[in-house]
Amino acid sequence: MIEIVPVDPQALLNDAISRYEDVSGETLYPGDEHYQFLAQMIELVVACKGDINSSANANLLRYAPSDVLDEYGDEYDVPRLPAKTASATMQFSLPAALAFDVTVPAGTRVTPDGQLVFALEAGVVIPAGQTSAEGIILAAEAGAKYNGFAPGQIQNLVDPVDYIGSVINTTQTAGGSDEESDDGYRERIRMSWEVISTAGSEESYEYWAKSVSTDIVAAKAVKTSAGVVTVYILMDGATEPSQDVLDDVAAVCSAEKHRPLTDDVMISAAEQVSYDVNLTYYISRSRATEVQTIQAAVGSAISDFAAAQKKQLGGNLNPDDLRKALLAAGAYRIDITSPVYTALQPQQVAVASATNTIAYGGLL
């Protein structure tokens, strides 16, 4: 935080004692009751100055706490993105065709693991003579933790339904997101100034793209040809965006008030640049008793490096950043074969492959 009002307890105490001595003509020593009284009062003055600094910093976008940040966003007409509910398509099946319709009522619950629950959005009817029908299921609550259940992973029926023999999701659960974080919200408020432009500025398109979902961690608008702007979006964890997300971004970026009439706006997933992590590291013999701890720290450093690459578009894939992290983790010497230094295009994201080779070379 910015120290708008200087806070130096010792300087304040010295000043208070000096003022007292000037008025009284006495010399105060630490054991004097007047000295002790002034020292106690200075604690209150320091607390008040701290409150002033906190209040003043809360008015700055960079330091505004959550509740103030919401008010800040309202002032700029940028509401915080709420949490969203994940959904998927669910198939309900009969063991054999029947001579009458079978209805699966709305609200029927299913679960992949007995912990997370989804409910049928609207009732589903399996017509006579058929064995299955599909409906949309919604997560019981909003949040990203309900995403990512692949087709076939939701097979448990919580609420029994007459004649239904099995259930299975036919699409991956997607669309769920947590409430926008303070850091993400703060960045969108800052970007909102770009929306004032009517010329289709680069950051304007990026602002509108990021306003669709908190799962979009970065966006980049690139002129790909005359009159054509492609907005590349990077999802959390560099996962592939669902078609719903692509459609939503396309709708908001192509809205009449968000783009110039001459722009043709295309939406695409970020381009992934795959890389391997292939290295050998050594530990100093002087730290032989810490080998297991250092090995764990090295593994975490490599994971953190890979995760950091997936949070940004463009920039560089720099093995020196990895080397720095490994040295901080306790490695003594590092021989890195890959990744090699790679300059990324603005729409590219570096993603580690699954064929990494991490070797411990022993003590040096």
- Show me where the domains of the chain are located: 9-75, 87-169, 197-269, 273-363
Number of other residues whose CB lies within 10 A of the CB of residue 209: 26
pLDDT computed for residue 259 by the predictor: 83
Contacts of 312 (CB under 8 A, 6+ apart): 218, 234, 349
* Beta-bridge mates of residue 82: none
- Candidates 188, 190, 191; CA nearest to 180 is 188
250-263 pLDDT, tens digit each: 999 988 878 887 88
Query: What is the second-level CATH architecture of the domain 197-269?
Result: 2-Layer Sandwich (3.30)
pLDDT computed for residue 354 by the predictor: 86
Q: Using 50, 70 and 90 to split pLDDT, how confident is the model at 59? A: confident
175-211 pLDDT, tens digit each: 898 999 999 899 888 888 766 655 567 888 998 999 9
Residue 306 pLDDT > 70, yes or no?
yes
Q: What is the average per-residue pLDDT within 141-148?
A: 92
Please give the Cα distance from 175 to 147 (Å, whole number): 7
Say what the alpha-carbon torsion angle 90, 96, 99, 100 is, to the nearest 10 degrees: -30
Mean pLDDT of the chain: 92
pLDDT computed for residue 260 by the predictor: 81
Question: Which H helix or E strand runs over 219?
Answer: strand 216-225
Give the angle subtended at the CA of 316 by the CAs of 312 and 321, to the nearest 5°. 95
pLDDT computed for residue 257 by the predictor: 79
Of 32-41, 52-61, 171-180, 300-309, where does the model show the most confidence? 300-309
The conformation of residue 84, written as its DSSP 8-state character, comes to B
Token reading at 303? 């994971």
Question: Measured on CA atoms in the order 258, 260, 265, 269, is the torsion positive or negative?
Answer: negative
pLDDT computed for residue 21 by the predictor: 87
pLDDT computed for residue 193 by the predictor: 76
Contacts of 222 (CB under 8 A, 6+ apart): 229, 230, 231, 232, 346, 347
Note whether 226 and 264 are within 8 A (CB): no
Q: Using 50, 70 and 90 to split pLDDT, how confident is the model at 319? A: very high
